Amino acid sequence: MGPTRTDVRRRAKFWLGQIFAVICLAGATFAAAQPRPDAQPVQSATGQEEAIRSAERGTVRVIAVYLNEDGSIADVSFGSGIVVAAERVVTNAHVVSVEGEVAQVLFVVPDRGSGGQRVRAEVLDGSQDFDLAILAAPGLVAPTLALSTSIPSKSRVVHALGYPGVTDAIRRLPIRDIVAPSQPYVTPGSIALISQTAPGGMEQPTIFHTAAINPGNSGGPLVDECGRVIGINTWNAAATLSDAGVSVPSGQSVASQVQTLLPLLRRAGVTAKVYEDACVPPLDPSVQARLDAADRAVQEAVLDRTTQYQIQLAAQRERRRLGEAGAISAVVLMTLAGLGFVMATRNVVFRTPQGPAFLVATALSAVLAAGIIAWLVSEFDKPLDRLEPPAARSLSQSLVNQPAQAGSEATLPSFDCSRAKSYSEKEICRDPALAARDVALGKMYAAALAHGSSEKLRAISRERWKERERCQDNACVVAWFDRRETELRRP
C-alpha cells in the first residue's frame, strides 16, 4: 500500500523545513563573515608586547585553603605561580604552607587568555629554605614559560606578573570573580641589584628590582624583554598598596633567581625549557619589516648580478667557440694558400709556363694568407674578459658606494617619518645630517649582510635598535650612530 496524502504532506513539510534551516544558516554565516562598517582596524602588537602577553598566559593564580578539624574553612590565602611544564606549576612555599604545614586544598586558576579553567592541585616537591614549591595540577590548560639563567643588565626593562590581592580588594571583586580565570597584573621596572644574599642574610642568588609587587604576587614570574622567567617574586619591602594609597615608598622588590629553582626541578623530574643565552628583544614590526626589505634587496641584487654573470659567461664561451672554429678554418686556408704559394714559387724558379688564372689564384692565396695571419695575431692578442662571479664583497661595495639621491630627497631617512614614534626616530627625521647617516647606515648594514653571518648580524642589529630607541637626547643618537658605523666597518 503506497503512502497516503497525509504522509506526503508531512514529508514535504519536513524537507521544506530542512531547506529553510539550511538557507537561514548560510545567510547567518555570510552575514557574520561580512566586515562591519564600524569595525576598527586591529593594530598589531610590538614584539615585546607579544612576549609579555605570552608570559601572562603562563602566569596562574594559586589558592590555598586551610581547614579546621571539623572540615570548615579556617583560612584562605592567595598567591601566583609559573607554568614551567605540562600540568606543573612553580610558586613560593609560603603560598601553599604555613610553618611547614601544607594547605589541605589547593587550586590553580589560569589566565583567561589560555582558555583553561580552575583545577585542583597538590604539592609535588618543595624547599622551605629557598621558599619554593612545585605543584602538580592535573588537567591544567595553560602554556609553559621558558626559564633563563641570563640576567639582564641594570638598564634593561623587566616585568613582574601576578595576582596581587590588594588589586582585587581595591576593585571590590566578589569571590566568584577572584577564583575564576582572569588577567594577571603586570608592572614594569628594572634590575636594581644582583645579589648572592637574600633578605635575612641567607646565601641565595637574588634579584632586587623596581617592578612593584604586593602580597599575592608571591610565586609569580619576573620576566625579561623576551618574556622568559629570570626570577620568582618572593619578597617586597614595607611599601604596600591599600585603599589609602602607598604606606612606605621604598620601592624594593625581590625575586629568587632561576638558578635556585633548577636543582628542585631536576629532583622532582620536571623538564623545563631553560635558556642560557642573553635575551635579544623582539623588534617592532615596522623595524623588522625594514630589515626584511633590506635582506630581500640584497638577495635580489645578488640574483640579478648572478644572472648577468651567467649571460656574460655564455657569451664568452660562444665567442671562444667561434674563435676556435675560425682558427681551424684559418689554418686550413693558410695551408692551401701556402701550397699555392709554393707552387707559384716553383713555377717561377723553374720557369714553367702558366696561364693567367693560375697566377691570379697564386696572388689571391698570398693575400689571403697575409690577411689570415693578421687576423689571428689581432684576435689572440686580445685579453680575454675577466669574468668573476658576483662576489658578495663587490656587491656590498657597490651598495655602499651608491650615491645618495640628489635634491631634498637626500635628507630623507630610510623610514617613513609620518610613522615615527620614538624620540630617536623623530630626531632623525628632524635633523638632515642624521637622516643622511641613517640612509648610509642602511647601505652599510645591507653590505654586511651580503658577506657576513646573517643570523648573528640580525641578532646584533635587534640589540642595537633597542639601544637607539631608548635615547632621549640628540647626543645619545649621535653617539649611537658613531658606535654602529664603527661596528659595521669592521671586517
Dihedral angle over CA of 121, 126, 129, 131, nearest 10? -30
Cell of 399: 651598495
Instruction: For residue 12, give Cα distances in angstroms to 1, 15, 485.
Output: 19, 5, 81
Q: Give me the residue label for grid cell 698570398.
A: 366
Q: What pLDDT, on a 0 to 100 scale, did the predictor assign at position 406?
A: 38
Cell of 161: 606578573
**Helix or strand holding residue 159 (H, E):** strand 157-162
**Would you list the DSSP string of 423-488?**
HHHHHHHH-HHHHHHHHHHHHHHHHHHHHS-HHHHHHHHHHHHHHHHT--SHHHHHHHHHHHHHHH
How many whole angstroms separate alpha carbon 255 and alpha carbon 222?
7
- Classify residue 28: in a domain, yes or no: no
Q: What pLDDT, on a 0 to 100 scale, did the predictor assign at position 283?
A: 64
Is there a single domain that holds both residue 298 and residue 262? no
Is there a single domain that holds both residue 121 and residue 217? yes
Is there a single domain that holds both residue 332 and residue 480? no
- Classify residue 38: in a domain, yes or no: no
Last residue of a domain, one of 228, 250, 275: 275
Instruction: For residue 289, give Cα distances in angstroms to 104, 140, 283, 295, 472.
Output: 53, 37, 9, 10, 24
Which residues in the chain come in under a pLDDT of 70? 1-47, 237-251, 282-292, 294-295, 297-299, 301-306, 309, 323, 326-327, 330, 333-334, 336-366, 369, 372-411, 450-453, 490-491
C-alpha closest to that of 319 among 379, 272, 259, 404? 379
Is there a single domain that holds both residue 130 and residue 270? yes
**Would you list the DSSP string of 204-262?**
EEEEEE-S---TT-TT-EEE-TTS-EEEEEEEE-S--EETTEES-----EEEEEHHHHH
In the chain, count H helices and then E strands: 13, 18
φ and ψ of 490, to 5 deg:
-65, 140
Is there a single domain that holds both residue 329 and residue 413? no
Q: What pLDDT, on a 0 to 100 scale, did the predictor assign at position 346?
A: 60
Last residue of a domain, one of 213, 243, 275: 275
CATH code for the domain of 102: 2.40.10.120
Last residue of a domain, one of 245, 275, 305: 275
How many whole angstroms separate alpha carbon 425 and alpha carbon 441?
14
Q: What pLDDT, on a 0 to 100 scale, did the predictor assign at position 251?
A: 65
- Classify residue 18: in a domain, yes or no: no
Residue 463 structural domain: 394-489
Q: What pLDDT, on a 0 to 100 scale, did the predictor assign at position 408?
A: 41
- Classify residue 5: in a domain, yes or no: no
Is there a single domain that holds both residue 325 and residue 417? no
- Rama region for 30: left / alpha / beta (φ>0; ψ in -120 to 50; rest): alpha
C-alpha closest to that of 122 among 78, 163, 91? 91
Is there a single domain that holds both residue 257 and residue 188? yes
Q: What pLDDT, on a 0 to 100 scale, did the predictor assign at position 294?
A: 66
- Total residue count of the chain as it appears in this document: 491
Is there a single domain that holds both residue 401 and residue 449? yes
How many whole angstroms separate alpha carbon 243 and alpha carbon 128?
32
- Classify residue 482: in a domain, yes or no: yes
Is there a single domain that holds both residue 159 and residue 245? yes
Q: Give the number of other CB atoms < 10 A from CB of residue 286.
A: 15
Contacts (Cβ under 8 Å, ≥6 apart) of 118: 107, 108, 109, 110, 179, 180, 181
Terminal CA-CA length for the chain: 96
- Classify residue 9: in a domain, yes or no: no
How many whole angstroms separate alpha carbon 55 and alpha carbon 275?
15
**Would you list the DSSP string of 265-288?**
HHHTT----EE-SPP-PPPPHHHH
Cell of 321: 667557440
Q: Specify the number of domains making up the chain.
A: 3
pTM over 0.85: no
- Classify residue 32: in a domain, yes or no: no
Is there a single domain that holds both residue 96 and residue 227? yes
Q: What is the CA radius of gyration of the chain?
A: 40
Q: Are strands 274-275 and 147-148 parallel, antiparallel or unpaired?
A: parallel
Cell of 410: 637626500
Is there a single domain that holds both residue 229 and residue 348? no
Contacts (Cβ under 8 Å, ≥6 apart) of 460: 487
Cross-strand partners of 80: 61
- Classify residue 59: in a domain, yes or no: yes
Is there a single domain that holds both residue 164 and residue 124? yes
Q: Give me the residue label for grid cell 606549576.
A: 89
